Amino acid sequence: MRGFKAFLLRGNVVDLAVGVVIGVAFGAVVTAFVKDLVTPLVAALFGKPDFAALTFTINHSKFLYGDFINAIVAFLVVAAVIYFFVVVPFTALIARSHKEPPADPTTKKCSECLSEIPIDSRRCAFCTSPQPAA
């Protein structure tokens, strides 16, 4: 029983459980956004496309390919909403917050002639003047 308790209290299991719960809640938010805002907007612009009535029959078996088309359209709308309203803004936010620190300089100016010389140089290659220690 101790091993099972240790397994349940490991960080990975708890993190996974939290991720699943947050994912379900986020899925509900995205579904509501698409159903309540995006789908009526699409219907207002293009008419109300409903393919549920599209069927064909072979040997008294009814194939509801219209429902399949509806599912594909719904998936594409949800994927587009997630991409344009979540992924793109989040990526832009992360890109803005991760600014690269400036690279360490590899050269310096000569104290006499102001030529660019390697940072560890003890003498200038152009005027041969001694350089102060870095």
The pLDDT value given to residue 62 = 92
Q: What is the CATH architecture of 2-97?
A: Orthogonal Bundle (1.10)
* The token pair that represents 105 in the structure block: 């300089």
Partners of 109 in beta bridges? 116
Confidence of residue 134 (pLDDT cuts 50, 70, 90): low
Query: Is 110 in contact with 127 (CB distance < 8 Å)?
Result: yes
Segment 9-20 mean pLDDT:
78
Mind listing the pLDDT tens digit for each residue in 40-62? 777 777 776 677 788 999 999 99
Mind listing the pLDDT tens digit for each residue in 74-101? 888 888 888 998 889 989 988 888 877 7
Q: Where do the structural domains in the chain lie, given as residue ranges?
A: 2-97, 104-134
- Rounded distance between C-alpha atoms, residue 106 and residue 120, angstroms: 8
Task: Give the C-alpha distances (Å, rounded to integers) separating 81 from 23, 58, 66, 75, 101.
Answer: 16, 37, 23, 10, 34
